[in-house]
Each structure stands twice: as C-alpha cells, then as structure tokens.
C-alpha cells in the first residue's frame, strides 16, 4: 500500500469513527429525553405536573390504574385521588384534558403487538419488490437487461452490505460493481443505473412529502420550507442538467473530456441523458417509487399502531416516514442512527403523539429493514455468491 493510499484509508476510518461517535451521542441525547419510568401528566391551575410511578393494566386504553412512587406527596394530589389512596396503593385514572399518561421505554417495547410487526415486515418486503422492479426497468432502458430475480439478488446484496458497511452508500457501491461486472461492454451505464435509481426514489420521496405537508396545513410548518426548497433544488438540478441549451452554454462535454477519468465520466453522462429521452420509463419509475414509499409509510403506520399510537393519522404518517427517511439518508451517521430517532421523536410530538413511540417506531423500522438485508447473506453462502464477491476486487476502477 502506497503512502497516499494509507493516508486515504486512515481518513476514511477516522471519518467513519466520527460518524459512529456522533450517532452514539445522538442516541444518548434522545434516550435521555424519554421516560424510563411510567408517568402521569396532571394539568392543574398552578401548572402541569409529571408524576412517576407504575401503570397497571393496558396503558393503551382510556382508563388505567396507577401506582404512585412512594416519594410523591399525597397532600398535593386531587382530593378524589387522595380518597382512593387511603384505601389502596393505586388510583383509577380516566384519560381527559387534565389527565394523561406516558408509558416508559421498556413498557412500550414489551407491549408491542407481534402481529403488527409481522404485517410491517410484509409491507417492507413488498416495497423491496417494487424497488427491485424499478431498478430492473431502469437497467433495461440503458441496454443492460437482466432477469428480475437477478436484480432482486443484487438488490439484497446491496441491503446486506449496508449492514456490513454501515451507511446508505456502501451497499450501493457493491451493487454497482456487481452489475457492472455482468455488463462489461456497458459497465458505466450499468453502474449509473444504481445512482439514477437512488435519485428517482429520493426525488419522489421528497415530492410526496411536500404534497402531504402542504395538505396538512400548518401542522408541519417547522419543516415545510426546508422540504419545499429541497424539492425545488432537486427538480431544477435534473432539468438544468438535461437541458441542451444549458449544457451548450457551460460546454459540459468539453469540460468532462478535460477531467481525470474522462472516458468514464462521458459514459456516465451519456447514460444520464438516455433517461431524459425516455419519459415513459421515468414516469414508470416514478409510479413504482410512489408504490415503494406507500409501502414504507404503511409499514411505519402499522408499527405506530402496534406500539399503541392512536393520535397520528395515516396522512401524517406519510409525512413522518418521508421526513424521517430523508433525514436518515443524509450521510451524517451510519445508517441514519441517532438522527432518524431524533427526527421521529420530534415529528411524533409535533402532531401530538407520544415521542417515545416515535423513537420505538424508528428503531424497529430499521431493525426490520436490517432483517430483510440479512436475507442477502443467504445468497452469499451459495457458491455463486462467494465467487461473485471474490471477483469484486477484479472489477476495474476505470472503464
């Protein structure tokens, strides 16, 4: 290894270590804001009080019994509660504008409905099927046809390597290298299909998010402008890049020829332009992306209900899952850990739901997606899979 390569490897490892440390810090900060004991919220003329204790019964219902912590001053409680405590150690609570309760983090995870987890996993698997179909079509549009099952296999490789190489890009790199190896005569085009697939999916995600946020009125006002600006920037970038007049004005092809690895860059540029000449394929990719994100939003909705949330509507779950996944896709922390949990907690509380459930949904969603990614490891155990991975090192970096 040359000194330059060693320095590059060191910087990459240092950057990953910093991202990992930041993710751990974010998770720690989020967890510190969550209740680790059951809580009752009492609104009195003097202000709002939070009382610690133990919820008895089904905390998801509108009536529970609550055992107060021994340190609570009973004299400061409402008279009807004091009367009940004189006869037993618990009081009966009815959910109202003055009285509410929040379960602890351990209780939220213990009381999750397993049927909801299974349904959420099924919806995510359906989303992966839709995503595979989208990439399969995009590959064919570039003259790199492959079987649908092969596209699924390569996609699962990508999900698996997202677990091994934490982050959103590690799996995409492996996926691009493998598909490029299968099309040596159109290596750059095959690899760029992965980038286009990611870009189309993200652009449609932002578009759906913007539509839902606008329809929700002022409910998501704190994040509305940021989402709309991101959408406008993405659309304008795509339009300007494909516009012939703009390309001639900046003399883009000439500039690409003067850059390092010019041949590869020109092939990638040509592959990008192929899609601009095939609006039907882009429209189909957009429709499949809507199906993918609908499956994800429904999965998050089912998880929320499985954990006990009854406040946020399905429309609001579309916005929550969209903003949360956009934030998790940013290369700030490995796999979006920490950032995603903070965003989900904030958005759940923004719509009046329990932030603890928001964090539980975010964590469980990532674990379920990781479970799907682990299925890619099954293919690696097969002789063909081991051979493909061993040949990754032989894929040329230059075309």
Which residue pairs from 286-289 have beta carbons closer than 8 angstroms and sit at least 24 positions apart in sequence? 286/200, 286/204, 288/130, 288/131, 288/133, 288/134, 288/137, 289/134, 289/200, 289/201, 289/203, 289/204, 289/205
Structure tokens at 235: 């659309």
**Per-residue burial over 197-220, b = 16 or more CB atoms within 10 Å of its CB, e = otherwise:** bbbbbbbbbbbbbbebbeebeebb
pLDDT value of position 169? 57
Percentage of the residues of the chain whose pLDDT score is greater than 90: 31
pLDDT value of position 344? 95
Q: 229, exposed or middle or buried, with CB in 10 Å at 0-12, 13-18, 19+?
A: exposed
pLDDT value of position 75? 75
| pLDDT of 273 above 70 | yes
Q: Is 281 helix (H, G, I), strand (E, B) or coil?
A: helix
Mean pLDDT of the chain: 84
pLDDT value of position 164? 67
pLDDT value of position 399? 39
| pLDDT of 114 above 90 | yes
Residue 145's pLDDT band (cuts 50, 70, 90): confident
184-243: per-residue pLDDT in tens? 777 777 888 888 898 889 999 999 999 999 998 888 988 889 899 989 998 898 888 888
Q: 99, exposed or middle or buried, with CB in 10 Å at 0-12, 13-18, 19+?
A: middle
Residue 46's pLDDT band (cuts 50, 70, 90): confident
pLDDT value of position 398? 43
Structure tokens at 187: 């290596």
Structure tokens at 396: 């040329």
123: which residues sit within 8 A by CB, 6+ positions away? 295, 296, 298, 299, 302
7-29: per-residue pLDDT in tens? 666 776 777 788 778 888 888 98
Higher-pLDDT residue of 121, 159? 121
pLDDT value of position 373? 87
| pLDDT of 394 above 70 | no
374-391: per-residue pLDDT in tens? 888 777 776 666 566 665
The DSSP call for residue 73 is: -
Higher-pLDDT residue of 252, 116? 116
Q: 295, exposed or middle or buried, with CB in 10 Å at 0-12, 13-18, 19+?
A: buried
Residue 397's pLDDT band (cuts 50, 70, 90): very low
pLDDT value of position 43? 85
Structure tokens at 36: 């680790």
Q: Are 271 and 192 in contact (CB under 8 A)?
A: yes
Q: What predicted TM-score, i.e. pTM, was given to this entire model?
A: 0.86
Q: Which of the listed ranges 41-50, 159-168, 304-313 does the model predict with the highest average pLDDT? A: 304-313
C-beta neighbour count of 391 within 10 angstroms = 12
Q: Which of 43-57, 211-225, 248-262, 383-397 has the lowest mean pLDDT?
A: 383-397
| pLDDT of 270 above 90 | no
Domain boundaries, the chain: 38-103, 114-390
pLDDT value of position 130? 95
β-partners of residue 52 are: 39
Q: Are 144 and 193 in contact (CB under 8 A)?
A: yes
Number of H helices, E strands in the chain: 17, 5
Among 117, 91, 101, residue whose Cα is nearest residue 60: 101
Rounded Cα gap, residues 190 and 143, in angstroms: 8
Find the mean pLDDT for residues 169-179: 77
Residue 129's pLDDT band (cuts 50, 70, 90): very high
pLDDT value of position 72? 75
Residue 286's pLDDT band (cuts 50, 70, 90): very high
Q: What do you get for the CA distance between the two ends of the chain, in Å?
A: 23
pLDDT value of position 162? 77
Higher-pLDDT residue of 132, 76? 132
Find the mean pLDDT for residues 268-286: 83
Among 143, 211, 101, 153, residue whose Cα is nearest residue 378: 153
């Amino acid at each position: 290894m040359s000194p330059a390569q060693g320095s590059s490897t060191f910087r990459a490892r240092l950057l990953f270590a910093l991202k990992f440390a930041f993710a751990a810090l974010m998770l720690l900060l989020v967890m510190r804001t969550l209740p680790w004991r059951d809580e009752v919220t009492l609104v009195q003329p003097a202000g709002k009080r939070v009382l610690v204790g133990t919820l008895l019964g089904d905390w998801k219902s509108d009536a529970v019994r609550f055992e107060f912590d021994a340190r609570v001053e009973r004299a400061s409680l409402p008279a009807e509660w004091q009367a009940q405590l004189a006869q037993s150690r618990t009081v009966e609570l009815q959910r109202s504008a003055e009285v509410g309760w929040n379960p602890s983090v351990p209780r939220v995870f213990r009381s999750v409905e397993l049927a909801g987890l299974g349904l959420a996993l099924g919806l995510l698997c359906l989303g992966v099927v839709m995503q595979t179909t989208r990439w399969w079509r995009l590959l064919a549009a570039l003259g790199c046809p492959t079987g649908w099952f092969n596209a699924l296999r390569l996609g699962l490789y990508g999900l698996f390597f997202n677990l091994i190489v934490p982050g959103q890009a590690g799996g995409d790199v492996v996926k691009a290298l493998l598909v490029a190896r299968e099309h040596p005569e159109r290596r750059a085009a095959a690899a760029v299909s992965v980038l286009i697939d990611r870009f189309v999916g993200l652009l449609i995600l932002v578009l759906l998010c913007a539509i839902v946020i606008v329809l929700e009125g002022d409910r998501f006002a704190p994040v509305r402008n940021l989402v709309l600006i991101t959408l406008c920037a993405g659309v304008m970038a795509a339009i300007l890049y494909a516009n012939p007049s703009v390309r001639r004005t900046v003399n883009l092809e000439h500039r690409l020829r003067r850059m390092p690895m010019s041949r590869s860059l020109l092939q990638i540029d040509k592959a990008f332009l192929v899609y601009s000449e095939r609006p039907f394929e882009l429209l189909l990719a957009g429709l499949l992306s809507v199906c993918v994100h609908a499956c994800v939003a429904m999965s998050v909705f089912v998880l929320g209900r499985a954990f006990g949330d009854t406040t946020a509507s399905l429309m609001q779950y579309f916005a929550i899952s969209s903003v949360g996944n956009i934030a998790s896709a940013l290369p700030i922390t490995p796999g979006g850990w920490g950032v995603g949990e903070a965003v989900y907690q904030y958005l759940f509380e923004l719509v009046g739901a329990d932030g603890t459930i928001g964090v539980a949904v975010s964590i469980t969603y990532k674990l379920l997606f990781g479970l799907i990614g682990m299925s890619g490891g099954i293919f690696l155990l097969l002789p063909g899979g081991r051979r493909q991975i061993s040949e990754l090192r032989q894929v040329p970096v230059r075309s």
